[in-house]
Every structure is written in structure tokens, then in C-alpha cells.
Amino acid sequence: MRRVRKPKTPEQRRRRRHVRVRSKVQGTAERPRLVVFRSLKHIYAHLVDDTRGAVLLGVADRSAGVARTDGGKVAKGFAVGLVLAERAKQAGITRVVFDRAGYAYHGRVKAVADGARRGGLEF
């Protein structure tokens, strides 16, 4: 009998967790999915309408309007959440579903969610 192969790298394990999260989280035009991606240096957040398969808007820590902070990467994440919420409200979006994309809800990912809530988005 063939053995089931376990994912070996951290990225493979995260992808598997992301698939598990995505099976439960669906974004619509009225309530898009707020998905977070974090690299080693930067953090990105997008609002996605899964029914159309379209990104409604996106913000990165290098985007215009994101405050430059000396608080490290967590502070960058919070600033990204604030700017994303501001732009979403301008686009008429007030409610979202949060997609942590397989990352632990901790640190930078949590900071993006907290910044979006502080900016006025409803989860």
C-alpha cells in the first residue's frame, strides 16, 4: 500500500491550511473576502469578490497613503488595515469576511484585522 505524503515545507503546510480555510470562506460583492498575504518584508491585503473572481481593491505596506512607521512589521500591518478600511468605505463596502490565508491569527495578520476594524470595517 502507498503511503500518504505529508507536506514537508512550511509553505506547503500553509497552502494546505489555506485550502482548508477557503473551503469555509466565500467572498461576495456585498461582503467581499479580506485576504492577507505576508512575505518576509512586506504585507498585502486585498478585497476579493469570489463570485466574479475579481479583486475589488488591494493595499500593500508600500502603497501610497500607508503611514511609514518605525514600529516594525506589526505596525505596518495595522497601517495597511486602516488604509484598506478607508478605501473600502469610499467604495461602499462596510462588511467583509476575513481570510487569514493559512497563517496563524497572530502578529501581523491580526494587526491587519485590528486596523481594518479600527477603520470601520465589520467582520
Residues 58-83 have pLDDT tens digits of 999 999 888 888 889 999 999 999 99
Domain borders along the chain are 26-119
- Residue 71: the pLDDT is 85
- Kind and range of the H or E run holding 117: helix 108-119
Confidence (pLDDT) at 100: 93
Q: Cβ distance 116 to 109 under 8 Å?
A: no
User: What is the per-residue DSSP string for 1-62?
Assistant: -PPPPPP-SHHHHHHHHHHHHHTT----SSS-EEEEEE-SS-EEEEEEETTTTEEEEEEETT
Given a cut of 80, whether residue 32 has pLDDT beyond it is yes
Domain 26-119 - what CATH class? Answer: alpha beta
Contacts of 67 (CB under 8 A, 6+ apart): 79, 82
pLDDT for res 77: 95
Least confident of 18-27, 34-43, 72-81, 107-116: 18-27
Q: How confident is the model at residue 5 (pLDDT cuts 50, 70, 90)?
A: confident
**DSSP 8-state secondary structure symbol assigned to residue 70:** S
